[in-house]
Amino acid sequence: MVQAIGIIGAGQMGNGIAHVAAQSGYNVVMVDMNPASLEKALKTIDKNMARQVEKGKLSEDDKATALARITTTTAMKDVASCDLVIEAATENEEVKKKIFRELDETLPANAMLASNTSSISITRLAAVTTRPEQFIGMHFMNPVPMMKLVEIIRGLATSEETYQRVVEVAERMGKTVATSEDVPGFIVNRLLLPMLNEAAYALQDGVADVKSLDTAMMLGAGHPMGPLTLADFIGLDTCVAIMRVLHSELGDSKYRPCPLLVKFVDAGWLGKKTGKGFYDYSDPANPQPYR
C-alpha cells in the first residue's frame, strides 16, 4: 500500500496535491528547486487548512497532524523512500523528462511515477524511464482541495496494477476518478477548451455581447460560470496554449485558436491574473465587460 508520496514542484498545483495527500494520511515529501516556492507552498497550505478549520470541516488537531506529515526539500534524492512520486513541475517537456530520468535512477524498483501534466503525452514521458509500466497520468484540477475530479491517464505501457493502485490513492484523497486515454487534452480540456474558444468566436462574430454570452450559458445551460468569465479565470494565455496543442496534435482545423482570443493575449490582457481580459477587474467585486 502507498504510504509516502513525493511531490515535485511546489507551485499552485503541487501545494494543493500536498495539502490533500497529507490530509488523507499520506506522508508527503515536497520538492522544489526554488526554496522560496517551498516556503510559499507551506504558507498557502496552512492558510487553506485554517479556512477549513473556520468552516468546521477540519479540527485544529487534524490540521496540525496533517501539516506535520509534510516535509520540504530542494534535493530530489529525498523522495527515495516514497512509493509514489507525483510530478507537478513547470509545463515544459524537457524539464519533466529530466526530472523523470533522475527519479527513475533514485527510486526503488517498485515505486510508481505520475505526472500532473495538462498537455504532454504520458506515453512519451514514460518512455524516458526504465519503468513505463509503473508510469501514469494523475491530472488534478485547480484548486486541488476544492475540485473533486482527478483524471487518470494510462500510457501505452501502464500496467493494470499501477492503474488500480493509483485509483486507490486518488479515492483515498477523497477524489472521484475519470479515466482517459492518453490523448491531447484528456477529457476535460478536450471538451471545455473548444467551448471557451467557441464563445470567443461568438463574440468575434457579433453573435452577442460579453454579458449576454455568459448569462445565456449560465441560465440556459446551467453552467455555474459563463464561458468568458471562466476563460478569464483560467488565463487567456493558457487557453490559447491548450488550443494550440489540440490543433497541432490532432491536426483538425476545428481546434484553431480564435483570432480574437489570440489578440487579447497579444495585448497582455490575460484575464483575472492581469486584471483585464473579457472583463476589467479594477473593481474585483464588480467586473465590467471590456467593451
User: What residues line the site for ligand NAI (CB under 6 A)?
Assistant: 8-14, 31-34, 37, 88-91, 95, 99, 116-118, 139-140, 142
Q: How far is the CB of 50 from ligand NAI (least distance, A)?
A: 21
CA angle 199, 203, 207 (to 5 degrees): 100
DSSP secondary structure of 89-103: --S-HHHHHHHHHHH
Q: Which C-beta is closer to ligand NAI: that of 10 or that of 246?
A: 10
How many of the other CB atoms lie within 10 Å of CB of 168?
13
DSSP SS3 for 231: helix
Q: What is the spatial distance between Cα 96 and Cα 214, in angstroms, rounded to a whole number? A: 36
Q: How far is the CB of 13 from ligand NAI (least distance, A)?
A: 3
Q: Which C-beta is closer to ligand NAI: that of 89 or that of 213?
A: 89
Q: What is the spatial distance between Cα 123 and Cα 158, in angstroms, rounded to a whole number? A: 8
CA dihedral sign, ordered 34, 36, 39, 43: negative
How many of the other CB atoms lie within 10 Å of CB of 288?
13
Q: Where are the beta strands (DSSP E) in the chain?
A: 4-8, 27-31, 70-73, 84-87, 112-115, 135-140, 149-154, 176-181, 279-280, 288-289
Residue corresponding to grid cell 473579457? 278
Q: Which C-beta is closer to ligand NAI: that of 84 or that of 89?
A: 89
DSSP secondary structure of 2-47: --EEEEE--SHHHHHHHHHHHHTT-EEEEE-S-HHHHHHHHHHHHH
Q: How far is the CB of 90 from ligand NAI (least distance, A)?
A: 4
Q: Which C-beta is closer to ligand NAI: that of 44 or that of 159?
A: 44
Which residue numbers are catalytic? 118, 139, 151, 189
Q: How far is the CB of 125 from ligand NAI (least distance, A)?
A: 10
Q: Which C-beta is closer to ligand NAI: that of 13 or that of 246?
A: 13
Q: What is the spatial distance between Cα 79 and Cα 89, in angstroms, rounded to a whole number? A: 15
Q: How far is the CB of 11 from ligand NAI (least distance, A)?
A: 2
Residue nearest to ligand NAI (CB): 11
Q: How far is the CB of 252 from ligand NAI (least distance, A)?
A: 22
